[in-house]
Amino acid sequence: MPASADALYAWHARPAAFARLTPPWEDVRVVAREGGFGTDGYRVTLRAGVLGPVKGTWVAEHVGFVPGREFRDRQLRGPFAAWEHTHRMIPDGEGSSFLEDHIDYRLPLGGLGRLFGGGLVRRRLEAMFAYRHALTASDLRRHGLYADRPRLKVAVTGSRGLIGSELAAFLTTGGHAVTRLVSGGADPAADDGARAVPWDPREEVNPAALADHDAVVHLAAENIAEGRWTAAKKDRIRQSRTVPTRHLAETVAVLPPARRPKVFVSASAVGVYGDRGDEVLTEESEPGGGLLADVCREWEAAAEPAAAAGVRVVNVRFGVVLSPKGGALAKQLPAFRAGAGATLGSGRQWLSWVAVGDAVGAVHHTLMTDGLTGPVNVAAPNPVTNRAFTKTLGRVLGRPAVLWVPRPALRVLFGEVADAALLASQRAVPDALTASGFAFDHPELEGALRFVLGKPAA
């Protein structure tokens, strides 16, 4: 690990560490905590599909704390006949360490359990810990790049969304303070070290919610892929992007300079470029035409009040974010797992994609890199065609993906969304990120899909 044993232990001790370490293909969440990390008897209650086919509640007690070196968790109640997991942090010189996970477990039903479930559980554990170790090393490396910089206080909207939930956990485990601006009642994910503040995106923002923060990250917006694009839906898509962005930017601008955030990172999308065929699109490329391009242009312009007040504004233009927890990939997985993966239209349209971990890392990079301003493409450096994406996802899942859905059929099935999102071609590349020193963990599609789906190469 690219951090000292003490820093590695501190990372694991923070409340959001479990959420950060849970692979996106596992449906596991914390529902209760008793006591505090570092005190023998600290208990965590988990609920969901544990290790795939085994579902239910798992109560784990933490003991054997040796600060900076190790701790153990053992099952008090759960799917295993026995489980004890020792986490060891082993010093390896200055700024380096080894992380060792040692697990003793027994499956229920004795020999019968081992016969029918042993291989499956073993493979799931191996995939899980390969993911956890790679993610821990990546997070520590990314935080370590800015070890000489003060930790930030960051206000985040959309913190229950695909990117926002991962970003909040990433920041808090790195020692930053996060304020979640949440709408719609209590925040179910608040037990992660972040502070939750009520927020109505339709209304003006109380300046006290943003005062004395170092940064604002604005990710909240209406999902474009849910439902057909009626006139009302299109209005919600536009309003959900422009109105809250303008309110946040205006609030940032009216704060006294000493209490004003220094950077405002606001979401946008590569859809701003419109349907551009094979053209390679950088941040210098002109916006295109169509509803999504027009909305993205207005979305980015809504942040102007903050820029006019001297705040550094970054418009992060996301490509398709890859995670089985949500977004386009989650919608495609059932069909692909059933062997019904299909090329859409001609299949020649370009897809700009990014693994969710790299999307989070890119947002963090924009927060910490003073020279970045204006549009920033958050997309992997190697976009692919729809046909290549289809074949790659089928290969990763070990399923055939030879079907084809023609353009007219897509228009019947999805309406206007088909032309605007499924068939539009955007070959965006991350020139601003790479020029400023950002390193992608997953620059190639197959590696990214294998990582987020827990499908290591044979």
- Location of structure tokens 């069909």: 335
Give residue-wise pLDDT tens across range 118-155. 778 888 899 999 999 999 999 999 999 999 999 999 99
CA distances from 341 to 300, 333, 389 (A): 35, 8, 10
In whole angstroms, what separates CA 134 from the centre of its chain?
Answer: 15
pLDDT confidence of residue 189: 46
Overall fold of domain 5-144: Alpha-D-Glucose-1,6-Bisphosphate; Chain A, domain 4 (3.30.530)
pLDDT confidence of residue 108: 83
Report whether 45 contacts 32 (CB < 8 A).
yes
Taking alpha carbons only, the member of 422, 219, 232 closest to residue 320 is 422
Q: Which DSSP letter does residue 197 get?
A: E
Give residue-wise pLDDT tens across range 185-223. 655 445 667 889 999 999 999 999 999 999 999 999 998
Q: Per DSSP, what are the bridge partners of residue 60?
A: 44, 75
pLDDT confidence of residue 283: 98
pLDDT confidence of residue 27: 85
User: How far apart (Å, rounded) are the C-alpha atoms in residues 51 and 80?
Assistant: 11
Question: What are the structural domain ranges in the chain?
Answer: 5-144, 153-453
CA distances from 16 to 11, 57, 88, 167, 202 (A): 9, 19, 19, 11, 29
- Location of structure tokens 């997309």: 379
pLDDT confidence of residue 53: 46
CA distances from 335 to 25, 260, 331, 403, 418 (A): 16, 48, 8, 11, 17
pLDDT confidence of residue 310: 97
DSSP secondary structure, 65-129, as one string: EETTTEEEEEEEESSSSEEEEEEEEEE-STT-EEEEEEEEEE-TTHHHHHHHHHHHHHHHHHHHH
Which residues, given as ranges, of the chain have pLDDT below 70?
Answer: 48-55, 113, 115-117, 185-192
Domains 5-144 and 153-453 agree in fold: no
Model's pTM, two decimal places?
0.94
User: How far apart (Å, rounded) are the C-alpha atoms in residues 376 and 362?
Assistant: 9
Overall fold of domain 153-453: Rossmann fold (3.40.50)
Strands 82-91 and 97-106: antiparallel
Helix (H) or strand (E) holding 284: none
Locate 325 and state its tokens.
């927890």
